[in-house]
């Protein structure tokens, strides 16, 4: 079955002040009615979540958080619970981005706990996985991602689960794998999800992320088993993000 609606999500990372929220409306204005054919999400920093959700009320896009505590509300200074993010208006929550795995030492087990916390609050977790350049050059990309998936996706993963395959060496570098490499990885991930979740895997989306730009989005979206993209730098500017969305075959009708 291949009835998955494409998802194109913008990961603003630690960029964005209130003035930048206008880029969201400008993106959607540029995309026009084609936005109904894909799911569009903006993941701004947590400081802008509620304002972003407010601005998108009644529009064809949703907001997502970039991280979440694995714990419920409690004495955890500086952290944000999934319930708080849901109340702020989030529908998605990125977990296990490689920048958090590297900068904050997040393990697969931590990522899985975060995905569970997000799902319990009704947020669709976007679980990020991806190999380093050294791992790819050693021929271990598929095995590394397979192990990350096994450890980072909880048993109770919701049907709304999203996986984002983001090769670490492709993030923010302008480098991307070949379409054949993306096809091989996405095919592998889809097979693993199917083996683990059976029919439920049919609705789980697998995104590609890492240097997606207007110039390469079309060929990446054409790769079998690519259900959309997680876009970093190019999601910050309406001209680029709208061009990426419009290059999806579904958005072109």
Q: Catalogue the active-site residues.
A: 97, 166
Cβ closer to ligand PGA: 76 or 102? 102
The residues in 10-69 that bind ligand PGA, with binding defined as CB under 6 A, are 11
Strand-strand pairing, 90-95 and 124-129: parallel
Q: Are 85 and 43 in contact (CB under 8 A)?
A: no
Q: Which of 37, 88, 233, 244 binds ligand PGA (CB under 6 A)?
A: 233
Binding pattern for the stretch 187-226 against ligand PGA, x by CB under 6 A and - elsewhere = ----------------------xxxx--------------
Cα 221 from chain centroid (whole Å): 14
- Kindly state the smallest distance separating residue 171's Cβ from ligand PGA, in Å: 4
Cα 211 from chain centroid (whole Å): 13
Q: Which two tokens stand for residue 63?
A: 């907001």
Q: Are 117 and 71 in contact (CB under 8 A)?
A: yes
Number of residues that bind ligand PGA (CB under 6 A): 13
Q: Which of 53, 95, 115, 171 binds ligand PGA (CB under 6 A)?
A: 171
Please give the Cα distance from 124 to 126 (Å, whole number).
6
- Kindly state the smallest distance separating residue 92's Cβ from ligand PGA, in Å: 13
Q: Please, which residues bridge with residue 9 across strands?
A: 41, 230
Which spans of this chain sit near ligand PGA (rule: CB under 6 A)?
11, 166, 171-172, 209-212, 230-234
């Amino acid at each position: 079955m291949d009835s998955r609606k494409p998802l194109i999500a913008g990961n603003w990372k630690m960029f964005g002040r209130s003035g930048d929220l206008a880029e969201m409306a400008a993106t959607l204005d540029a995309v026009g009615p084609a936005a109904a054919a894909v799911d569009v999400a903006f993941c701004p920093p947590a400081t802008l979540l509620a304002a972003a959700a407010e601005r998108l009320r009644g529009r064809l896009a949703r907001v997502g958080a970039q991280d979440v505590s694995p714990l419920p509300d409690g004495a955890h200074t500086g952290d944000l619970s999934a319930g708080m993010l849901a109340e702020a208006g989030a529908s998605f929550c990125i977990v296990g981005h490689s920048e958090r795995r590297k900068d904050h030492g997040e393990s697969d087990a931590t990522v899985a706990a975060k995905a569970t916390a997000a799902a319990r609050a009704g947020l669709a977790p976007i679980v990020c996985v991806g190999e380093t350049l050294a791992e790819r050059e050693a021929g271990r990309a598929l095995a590394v991602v397979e192990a990350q998936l096994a450890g980072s996706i909880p048993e109770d993963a919701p049907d709304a689960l999203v996986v984002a395959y983001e090769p670490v060496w492709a993030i923010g570098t302008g480098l991307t794998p070949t379409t054949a490499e993306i096809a091989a990885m996405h095919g592998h991930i889809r097979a693993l999800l199917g083996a683990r979740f059976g029919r439920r895997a049919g609705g789980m989306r697998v995104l590609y992320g890492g240097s997606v730009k207007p110039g390469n989005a079309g060929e990446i979206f054409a790769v079998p088993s690519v259900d959309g993209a997680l876009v970093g730098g190019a999601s910050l500017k309406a001209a680029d993000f709208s061009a990426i969305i419009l290059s999806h075959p579904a958005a072109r009708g």
